[in-house]
Amino acid sequence: MSYPMNIGEAASATGVSAKMIRHYEATGLIPAPARTLAGYRNYAESEVHTLRFIRHARKLGFSVPQIGELLGLWRNQRRSSAKVKSLAQTHIAELETKIREMTAMKATLAHLVHCCHGDERPDCPILENLAAGD
């Protein structure tokens, strides 16, 4: 790999789309990179490494604000690992909550699908349930 990279090259090298790179820049998750005289973004090796960090954190389901915290901790050599662990434990608890909610949604939907005849008749427990609301 050759540095600096333009945004397309950085996107290819990191697996983060150019659109998301611009979004992360606009939200302050990554600093604005240097630019060429023509105004094109130039990404240094450290910025590409940061984009890979972000991609991996997103794959683990961390939110953008959480990734911002993780990046701050990653860059701070004086940080304690306890802060990082606490953030990860909080995320695990959030994931467990989402898993329970999705499991309940799946069970409800599976029950409704089981009750639906799926034939030419117009009555449908799935639509009836959706129309009934909570």
- pLDDT tens digits, one per residue of 84-109: 999 999 999 999 999 999 999 999 99
Three-state DSSP at 31 gives coil
Q: What does the pLDDT read at residue 134?
A: 72
CATH of domain 1-79: 1.10.1660.10
Q: Residue 66's closest CA among 26, 46, 94?
A: 94
For the chain, the distance separating the N- and C-terminal CA atoms, rounded to the nearest angstrom, is 55
pLDDT score at 1:
81
Q: What is the pLDDT of residue 29?
A: 94
- Per the CB < 8 A criterion, the answer to whether 10 and 43 are in contact is yes
Position 133 confidence tier, pLDDT thresholds 50, 70, 90: confident
Give the pLDDT confidence of 14-71 residue by residue, as tens digits.
999 999 999 999 999 999 999 999 999 999 999 999 999 999 999 999 999 999 999 9
Per-domain boundaries in the chain:
1-79, 80-134
- Residues 48, 9 contacting (CB under 8 angstroms): no
Which residue stretches of the chain are H helix? 7-14, 18-26, 45-59, 64-75, 81-115, 125-132
Report cis status (omega within 30 of 0) of the bond before 31.
no
